[in-house]
């Protein structure tokens, strides 16, 4: 897949009290350490990389995007000895802020390889000049086999120099993404908070996940806000932030798609999150089925619960950029379908019989849970 492009709206956040495992944030091209406005400690990249050239981007003041490291020589250049918790599911995110640092007005393309196993393509299509709130990033979730990992940049074109702005690592709690196999990685395509107005990230999501805000874009859809004083997320093992579950998008004939998927198709891991925003009366009912193309998500109709989060997972189904997620009300439903959150990944499988690159092309499997 291509690296994700997100436009960031900055806003003030208050810190949450959480207990996390290993985490580290590396400001590539920087030599010093500092604490940012979200109380995240950033360290320079000395000790993690021995080659490449550091650069400070002129006229950019915002950290960590005001520095980068680029690699004018070598086919593969790596950051190593990045500490993690061995055997614990881990999220690794790499960011790329071009800003025409090389004065070529030619954004490069290259690949990033996580721990020598999980590979993603970085295709930067815009120079993004004078825009400090837009960046590309790549992200993977997997289980490290050792207490240190590597992040490597692979040159895919002789004329393009790979570069990197930052590396972030977050340990995930036991039980999150629990059906992820030991040789698998989840390469992020989309993570969306429906009905939200602003991007959601750390510390509102203590696991470092970034949720793109997406509200109604036409008159057939409605943004909803919960009337519940709080939302119990224990019914969703992936632990979506409560703020994600507090908003929703609803509408008759709701259909979603993802253009970041390739035309040829890849096996995907799809997670849908639901919470009923209203305390329904006796005659009110919201019930619907969801399909990824012709495969149902979950084994039964989805009935969101007021004040509680539910999650439904579909994995190993092959999807393309033409695939659609279709919501269909059941015959007894009075209210239209809704969705609070979505995560979509392609599955990277590094088992010996997988060919080392793609995931298994099997028929899908599904899981659902509710609190």
Whether residues 38 and 140 share a domain: the answer is yes
What is the tens place of the pLDDT at every residue in 290-306? 999 999 999 999 999 99
Whether residues 263 and 158 share a domain: the answer is no
The burial class, CB within 10 Å (0-12 / 13-18 / 19+), for 371 is middle
pLDDT of residue 362: 33
pLDDT of residue 358: 36
Q: What percent of the chain has pLDDT over 70?
A: 86
Q: 175: number of CA atoms within 13 Å, CB side?
A: 8
Of 252-261, 311-320, 355-364, the range with the lowest mean pLDDT is 355-364
Task: Inform me whether the pLDDT recorded for 17 exceeds 80.
Answer: no
> 216 falls in which pLDDT band (50, 70, 90)?
very high
Q: Which whole-number Å values give the CA distances from 222 to 49, 58, 225, in the listed order? A: 48, 43, 10
What is the tens place of the pLDDT at every residue in 170-209? 999 999 999 999 899 999 999 999 999 999 999 999 999 9
Task: Inform me whether the pLDDT recorded for 370 exceeds 80.
Answer: no
Whether residues 91 and 126 share a domain: the answer is yes
C-alpha dihedral sign at 357, 273, 84, 206: positive
Examine the fold and report which residue of 115, 148, 172 is the final residue of a domain before the chain moves on: 172
In a domain, 343, yes or no: yes
Q: Are 33 and 44 in contact (CB under 8 A)?
A: yes
In a domain, 165, yes or no: yes
Whether residues 150 and 262 share a domain: the answer is no
In a domain, 314, yes or no: yes
Whether residues 159 and 204 share a domain: the answer is no
Q: Quote the domain boundaries for residue 260.
A: 186-370
Residue 293 φ/ψ region, left for φ over 0, alpha for ψ in the -120 to 50 degree band, beta for the rest: left
pLDDT of residue 180: 96
Whether residues 23 and 105 share a domain: the answer is yes
CA pair distance 77, 28, nearest whole angstrom: 13
Whether residues 351 and 202 share a domain: the answer is yes
Task: Inform me whether the pLDDT recorded for 364 exceeds 90.
Answer: no
pLDDT of residue 34: 95
CA pair distance 32, 354, nearest whole angstrom: 42
Whether residues 202 and 333 share a domain: the answer is yes
- Domain count for the chain, please give it: 2
In a domain, 181, yes or no: no
Residue 48: give its domain's CATH number.
2.60.120.430
Mean predicted confidence (pLDDT) in 139-160: 97
In a domain, 273, yes or no: yes
In a domain, 146, yes or no: yes
CA pair distance 52, 204, nearest whole angstrom: 34
Q: What percent of the chain has pLDDT over 90?
A: 78
CA pair distance 313, 311, nearest whole angstrom: 7
Whether residues 230 and 342 share a domain: the answer is yes
Q: What is the mean pLDDT of the chain?
A: 89
User: Which tokens in the block code for residue 292?
Assistant: 């990824």
Whether residues 157 and 269 share a domain: the answer is no
pLDDT of residue 4: 55
CA pair distance 262, 349, nearest whole angstrom: 17
Of 41-45, 61-65, 152-156, 161-165, the range with the lowest mean pLDDT is 61-65
Examine the fold and report which residue of 150, 172, 194 is the final residue of a domain before the chain moves on: 172
Examine the fold and report which residue of 172, 194, 220 is the final residue of a domain before the chain moves on: 172
Strand order in the sheet with 295-296: 255-257, 324-329, 288-292, 295-296
In a domain, 335, yes or no: yes
In a domain, 179, yes or no: no
> Would you give the distance in Å from CA 152 to the centre of its chain?
19
pLDDT of residue 59: 75
Whether residues 155 and 249 share a domain: the answer is no
What is the tens place of the pLDDT at every residue in 218-233? 889 999 999 999 999 9
pLDDT of residue 65: 85
Question: How big is the chain, counted in residues?
Answer: 371
Residue 250: give its domain's CATH number.
2.60.120
User: Which tokens in the block code for residue 234?
Assistant: 């224990």
Select, from the ranges 55-64, 128-137, 268-277, the one with the highest average predicted confidence (pLDDT): 268-277
Whether residues 269 and 139 share a domain: the answer is no
């Amino acid at each position: 897949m291509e690296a994700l492009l997100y436009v960031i709206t900055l806003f003030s956040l208050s810190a949450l009290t959480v207990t996390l495992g290993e985490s580290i944030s590396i400001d590539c091209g920087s030599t010093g350490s500092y604490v940012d406005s979200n109380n995240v400690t950033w360290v320079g990249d000395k000790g993690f990389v021995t080659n490449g050239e550091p650069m400070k981007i002129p006229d950019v003041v915002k950290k960590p995007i005001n520095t980068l490291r680029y690699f004018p020589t070598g086919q593969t250049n790596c950051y190593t000895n990045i500490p993690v918790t061995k055997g614990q599911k881990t999220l690794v995110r790499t960011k790329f802020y071009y800003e025409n640092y090389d004065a070529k007005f030619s954004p490069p393309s290259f690949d990033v390889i996580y721990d020598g196993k999980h590979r993603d393509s970085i295709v930067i299509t815009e120079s993004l000049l004078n825009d400090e709130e837009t960046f590309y990033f790549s992200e993977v979730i997997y289980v490290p086999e050792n207490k240190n990992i590597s992040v490597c940049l692979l040159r895919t074109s002789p004329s393009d120099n790979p570069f990197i702005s930052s590396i972030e690592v977050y340990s995930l709690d036991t039980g999150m993404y629990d059906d992820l196999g030991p040789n698998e990685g989840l390469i992020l395509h989309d993570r969306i908070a429906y009905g939200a107005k602003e991007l959601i990230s750390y510390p509102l999501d203590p696991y470092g996940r970034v949720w793109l805000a997406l509200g109604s874009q036409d008159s057939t859809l409605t943004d909803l806000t919960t009337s519940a004083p709080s939302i119990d997320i224990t019914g969703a093992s992936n632990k979506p932030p409560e703020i994600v579950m507090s908003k929703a998008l609803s509408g008759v004939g709701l259909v979603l798609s993802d253009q970041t998927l390739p035309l040829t198709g890849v096996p995907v891991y799809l997670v849908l999150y639901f919470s009923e925003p209203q305390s329904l009366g006796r005659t009110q009912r919201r019930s619907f089925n969801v399909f990824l193309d012709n495969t149902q998500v979950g084994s039964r109709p989805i009935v969101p619960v007021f004040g509680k989060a539910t999650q439904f997972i579909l994995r190993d189904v092959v999807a393309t950029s033409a695939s659609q997620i279709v919501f269909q009300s059941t015959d007894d439903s009075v209210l239209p379908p809704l969705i609070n959150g979505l995560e979509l990944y392609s599955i990277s499988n590094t088992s010996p019989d997988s060919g080392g690159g793609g995931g298994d092309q099997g028929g899908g499997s599904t899981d659902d849970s509710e609190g």
